Structure 1
Amino acid sequence: MKLIKNIKLYSPEYLGVRDVFIAGGKICKIGENIKLPSDLGVEIIDGTGLLLLPGFIDSHVHILGGGGEGGFANRTPEAALSDLTKHGVTTVVGCLGTDGVGRSMASLIAKVKSLREQGLSAYAYTGSYQIPVHTLLGNVTEDIMMIDEIIGVGEIAISDHRSSQPTFDEFARVCADARVGGILSGKAGIVNVHLGDGSRYMNLIERVVQETEIPPSQFLPTHVNRNAALFERAIEYAKLGGVIDFTGNEDIDYWETVSDEVRVSKGIKRLLEEGADSDSFTISSDGQGSLPLFDEHGQFLGIGMGQSSSLIKEVRECTERENIPLETAIKAITANPARVLGLQKKGRIAEGFDADLCILRENLQIDTVVAMGRIMVRNGIPIVRGQFE
């Protein structure tokens, strides 16, 4: 049991200075000047001068590692527990990318189970870049319906030279199977779509929405800010009711010099100015995923790696560089992904919700992270680490 006192509470909406009592991994009570019997053994956390936010949801992380585009030596490492928690992440969704051979669905689910055992809320998408989808049980619908950890399919790659170049019918069938799996299991059945630099942009997604009965809510297209032309299409998609996912980038100052990648804070500001709803975007990190650089002929030049640290960094830039209200910016890593992914007790600070919390200093640096009621990070330092860290 823990009682957080006198803290500025963002639910993500700002609710003023409040006390928050948590017990049994849940948020039990929110109020002013909450009094509890002294003999209960409740840990008191003084929140004076601090901010309380929902725990962050990173909806796109290569928890098994990614990469390999430059050969076996370019495979990136797995995510350790503290690689996530020290950056405020209390819920993570794991995925496979280009390499659906060297890394399998069985290994991905085992990693998800490992993170769960260590105190994190963890989920997965079935499949990788490729269609036909390499599933665990034989098909997308069955994986989503019968495997608790799987909440959708992805990251299916389109408009990318590394994709399997799916036809419209192939892509639409995967989307339909994901939708049915979600309906039958009470999950989102989300289709997480990797968008490449190709000139077809979001064509396949747009065609499915226009030519079938599958709604925009079935999709979470990611990397929408990877180039300016793609982002223009993404803006129109969001204005029509779709949700788009920005990919955070710790090294954006460099990437802006070699590409026309759209800085997340500028993109969100533009999206809001265009009249899109504040519920229409999320931010994910592509953590542990490779950030390969290719020349105009598709030849590999070099590689970097995504990091979950980009989530709070992008929120900070939204508020400091673009004057976006904090409660709007943090929706992108809390309430919005929780809604899109169908995580009903995540993404908000409300009574009855999971006790996933981030305490930030006024400069938006992470101080304390609580996952399912357990303190994972204190004073910015992880106090709970994975088995082999």
Structure 2
Amino acid sequence: MITVVKNAEIYAPEPLGKKTLVILGDKIEGIYDDLNIPKDFVQIDVVDAEGKILVPGFIDNHVHILGGGGEGGFKTRTPELTLSKITTAGITTVIGCLGTDDVCRSMRSLVAKANALEEEGITTYVYTGSYEIPIKTLTGSAKGDIMMVSKMIGIGEIALSDHRSSQPTYEQFINTVAQCRVGGLLSGKSGVVNVHLGDGASMMDYLFSMLDNTEIPASQVLPTHVNRKDKLFEKGIEYIKKGGFVDLTTSFDPDFLEPGEVKASKGLKLLLQSGCPIDNITFSSDGNGSMPIFDENRKFIGLGICSVDSLYREVKDAVMLEDIPLEEAIKVITSNPAEIFKLKTKGRIEKGRDADLVLLDKSTLDINSVMAKGKFHIHNKNTLIKGTFE
């Protein structure tokens, strides 16, 4: 099947202007200034994208696809994510993680869920492990998981500076990162360690000690939730300036930010104003993790669910409210995570890459259509493909 998308303003993420994109099967065949399309060739599906912007499909690098939470007892376990919940958010690639609970949720279940979503039409990867060190693995070692299990591209989310972490020693943490690095080198994968940062006093101490006392590069660890506190956010700026990457979490209660919490879109602007390179910043949603809910008096009244919808919402706010150019803001959920996680066919609109694409209405930047692996899942804001049990 050949699909032609014409008259779209393409951000690859660099702005290319109004072009015609040809998709052959699940790949981008080419980008053209003009193209003569045979009218009687029935195997060509032509999409007129006049008034729309075409960007790469979004990559969410931290998602609880099996559900998360549970810290308030069994009734607070959040549900699994469904396919259409992911695709309506413009997301075409997810990296799944376990989080706090590695007893009632397992690596086998996580890999199975990732395979299920892949069969339904999107691209999936997972981290091996959970909050805990030593990590629980499938093959007996983190290095073995990364080398032998195709879905596993790193370790995460390892919890530091959090009362819910396993309180690993510095040596345990460094050995875990080292295993992940070597497993990545031997398998051609990223071997990135995704680190959950809580609101404890130690913040990023282990990461800075790693830079001072080992040969492991800063890029081997991607700390997330860096925007949960302003003091932690400042440490994130320091980490970037030492060559590292940081990840800002997009899910939060928009009406009641925690004291010191930095909204992701605002955080992106602050990072750029501080001289941090845009290429060293990513956003992730923490989708289907649990999220506290407060009333108007800031009294805790229950738990909500982190939403994958927030991923693009914060990118859109970065453009519309913080005056960050679209070609810069969109990088944090496209080309940046693709580069960091070595997803060589993702994150950019160019010949030979996967046909993972999102069409945006030019006037509002709202999501209009979403294509994953060359198939429209969402078209003109209508859901065409749903998960098996939706």
The TM-score bracket by the shorter chain reads over 0.9
Instruction: Give the stretch that moved more between structures: 35-44 or 181-190.
Output: 35-44
**1:335–1:285 CA distance, 2 compared to 1 (3 A):** same
Matched, 1:368 2:369: yes
Report if aligned partners of 1:27, 1:349 keep a CA contact under 8 Å in 2. yes
Q: CA RMSD in A?
A: 1.4
In structure 1, distance between residues paired with 2:282 and 2:28: 24
1:43 maps to 45
In structure 1, distance between residues paired with 2:120 and 2:72: 32
Give 1:233-272 correspondences, 5 Å limit.
Answer: 233-249=235-251, 251-254=253-256, 256=257, 258-272=258-272
Report if aligned partners of 1:69, 1:292 keep a CA contact under 8 Å in 2. no
Report if aligned partners of 1:250, 1:313 keep a CA contact under 8 Å in 2. no
Amino acid at match of 2:81: A
2:297 maps to none
The secondary structure found in structure 2 opposite 1:358 is strand
TM-score (norm 2): 0.96
1:297 maps to none
Report if aligned partners of 2:251, 2:287 keep a CA contact under 8 Å in 1. no
**1:292–1:169 CA distance, 2 compared to 1 (3 A):** farther
In structure 2, distance between residues paired with 1:301 and 1:261: 19
In structure 2, distance between residues paired with 1:334 and 1:34: 27
2:59 maps to 57
Amino acid at match of 1:352: G
TM-score (norm 1): 0.96
In structure 2, distance between residues paired with 1:22 and 1:246: 32
The secondary structure found in structure 2 opposite 1:322 is coil
- Cα deviation digits, residues 21-65 of structure 1 (max 9, x gap): 001200001011222334252100011010000000000000000
In structure 2, distance between residues paired with 1:197 and 1:7: 44
In structure 1, distance between residues paired with 2:85 and 2:211: 37
Matched, 1:216 2:207: no
Matched, 1:307 2:307: yes
In structure 2, distance between residues paired with 1:293 and 1:139: 38
In structure 2, distance between residues paired with 1:280 and 1:57: 15
Give 1:1-389 correspondences, 5 Å limit.
Answer: 1-38=2-39, 39=41, 41-249=43-251, 251-254=253-256, 256=257, 258-292=258-292, 302-362=302-362, 363-389=364-390
- Cα deviation digits, residues 245-276 of structure 1 (max 9, x gap): 0000252332x2x4221011211111111111
Q: Quote how far apart the aligned CAs of 1:217 are.
A: 1.1
The secondary structure found in structure 2 opposite 1:29 is strand
The secondary structure found in structure 1 opposite 2:136 is coil
In structure 2, distance between residues paired with 1:281 and 1:65: 25
The secondary structure found in structure 2 opposite 1:253 is coil
Q: Quote how far apart the aligned CAs of 1:321 are.
A: 1.3
Amino acid at match of 1:244: V
In structure 2, distance between residues paired with 1:34 and 1:199: 59
Paired residues, number: 383
Q: Quote how far apart the aligned CAs of 1:293 are.
A: 7.0
Amino acid at match of 2:119: E
The secondary structure found in structure 1 opposite 2:278 is coil
Instruction: Give the stretch that moved more between structures: 259-268 or 79-88.
Output: 259-268
In structure 2, distance between residues paired with 1:82 and 1:235: 35
The secondary structure found in structure 1 opposite 2:227 is coil
In structure 2, distance between residues paired with 1:381 and 1:136: 39
Structure 2: gaps (5+ residues): 295-299
Q: Percent identity?
A: 52
In structure 2, distance between residues paired with 1:157 and 1:293: 22
- Cα deviation digits, residues 92-146 of structure 1 (max 9, x gap): 0000001011100000000011011111100000000000101111110000000
In structure 2, distance between residues paired with 1:52 and 1:108: 32
In structure 1, distance between residues paired with 2:35 and 2:217: 44
Instruction: Give the stretch that moved more between structures: 34-43 or 78-87.
Output: 34-43
Report if aligned partners of 1:250, 1:309 keep a CA contact under 8 Å in 2. no
The secondary structure found in structure 1 opposite 2:255 is helix
In structure 2, distance between residues paired with 1:210 and 1:292: 36
The secondary structure found in structure 2 opposite 1:37 is coil
Instruction: Give the stretch that moved more between structures: 142-151 or 27-36.
Output: 27-36
Structure 1: gaps (5+ residues): 295-299
Q: Segments of 4+ in structure 1 off by > 4 A?
A: none
Amino acid at match of 2:195: V
